[in-house]
Amino acid sequence: MSYTIKDVAKKANVSIATVSRILNAQSGYSEKTKIRVLQVIEELGYQPNAIARGLINKRTHTIGVLFPKLSSSLVTDLLDGIEKAAGISGSSVIVCHTEYNGEKTLKYLQLLSEKRVDGIIFASEVLREEYYQFLKKSNIPIILLSTESPSFSIPHVKVNDFHAAYSAASYLIEKGHKNIGMISGNKEDMIAGKPRIEGFQKALADAHIPLSEENVVYKKGFSFPDGVEGLKELLKQFPSVTALFAASDEIAIGALSAAYHLGIKVPDELSIIGYDNLNIASMSIPPLTTVSQPLKEMGETAAGMLFKLLETGKAPNSILMPHQIIERFSVKERI
């Protein structure tokens, strides 16, 4: 089928050891034999077998990435960054789509482990006890991305959701708003749900703005439909609202859409700030003001941490990435 190092050795009249040395840029051969071997390699179109290399080196130069979702800009931007960093380090990335399914996740973990990936990046999902136990038993390095683990000590990279939400709400307050509502995602979600709610509440409290149960409506997810339903519910329970913090851009766009159909002008009658800064944020009418997470950078950073961990062997510190308010046109000063 494909040529082996043996074929090269034979044709170049050297031993496989010499070929190997040349391939790995070690020392122990003359310049003359080097060019001859290289010549033969070129002629044959020889490609070293990474599988055989992996078997002996115990390094596959492949990492695995677990995502709960694939068809979302949020998560593929992370992938974009991971792939970039991996490419630079000469590694490839295997993507696994868990769909938030425990069984599937475990199956993938098993698969990745059997394939002897060098490490794993676990993204945007809570790391369950069972996953952790498996990883620990399999002894395979892991980095958490856009999520964190309260119970286990695993390095992660994410933004501080509490602070980011605090910033968003504060931004609304600075703009003169006092009747501020929120459409939150799942409040049981300890990563993206609860912290954002609490950040929001803290900002209002610090500004001495009265806050009651009417201020926030809790949805199951972070999707467009959640946003359209959410706004309707919010309007019902908190009619005087003039500004809204949406826990995700999709929710914000949903709210935008609902407002349009309700004849509510954004931002004149209602200001809306989103969360994530997906590419759709700049495509809405009006373009969405939002707090951005540097998704791609986060992916790069996580992969970078993993590779450093692989080299040095010592656990890196977690990294909190900066968030930033991207001002567009969905928020208006209230006078």
Partner DNA sequence: TTGTACGCGTTATCAT
Partner DNA sequence: ATGATAACGCGTACAA
Task: Give the interface with DNA as residue ranges (CB under 7 A).
Answer: 1-2, 4-6, 13-18, 20-21, 23-24, 26-30, 32-33, 46-49, 52-53, 55-57
Cβ at position 26, least distance to DNA in Å: 7
- When the beta carbons of 10 and 104 are compared against DNA, the nearer one is 10
CB 303 within 8 A of CB 81: yes
Cα–Cα distances in angstroms (integers) from residue 232 to residues 117, 226, 258, 260, 298, in the given order:
47, 10, 7, 12, 34
Kindly state whether residue 296 participates in binding a second copy, applying the rule CB under 8 A: yes
Kindly state whether residue 300 participates in binding a second copy, applying the rule CB under 8 A: no
71 binds, among a second copy, DNA, none (CB under 5 to 8 A by kind): a second copy
Q: What is the distance between the alpha carbons of residues 245 and 273, in angstroms, rounded to a whole number? A: 5
CB 81 within 8 A of CB 139: no
Name residues contacting a second copy, limited to 49-78 (CB under 8 A). 49-52, 54-55, 58, 60, 62, 64, 70-73, 76-77
Residue 228 Cα to chain centre, angstroms: 25
Residue from 19, 79, 183, 246 in contact with a second copy (CB under 8 A)? 79
Q: What is the distance between the alpha carbons of residues 304 and 309, in angstroms, rounded to a whole number? A: 9
Q: Which two tokens stand for residue 10?
A: 């034979």
Cβ at position 41, least distance to DNA in Å: 10
Tally of residues, the chain: 335
Residue from 18, 21, 83, 105 in contact with a second copy (CB under 8 A)? 83
Strand (E) or helix (H) holding 314: none
Name residues contacting a second copy, limited to 105-144 (CB under 8 A). 110-116, 137-139
133 binds, among DNA, a second copy, none (CB under 5 to 8 A by kind): none
The answer to whether the peptide bond before residue 267 is cis (omega within 30 degrees of 0) is yes
- When the beta carbons of 58 and 208 are compared against a second copy, the nearer one is 58
253 binds, among a second copy, DNA, none (CB under 5 to 8 A by kind): a second copy
Cα–Cα distances in angstroms (integers) from residue 304 to residues 7, 64, 116, in the given order:
37, 14, 19
Residue 144: strand, helix, or coil: strand
Q: What pairs with residue 66 in β-bridges?
A: 96, 122
Kindly state whether residue 94 participates in binding a second copy, applying the rule CB under 8 A: yes
Would you tell me which residues interact with a second copy (CB under 8 A)?
A: 1-2, 45, 47-52, 54-55, 58, 60, 62, 64, 70-73, 76-77, 79-80, 83-84, 87, 90, 92-97, 104, 110-116, 137-139, 224, 250, 253-254, 256-257, 260, 279-280, 282-285, 296
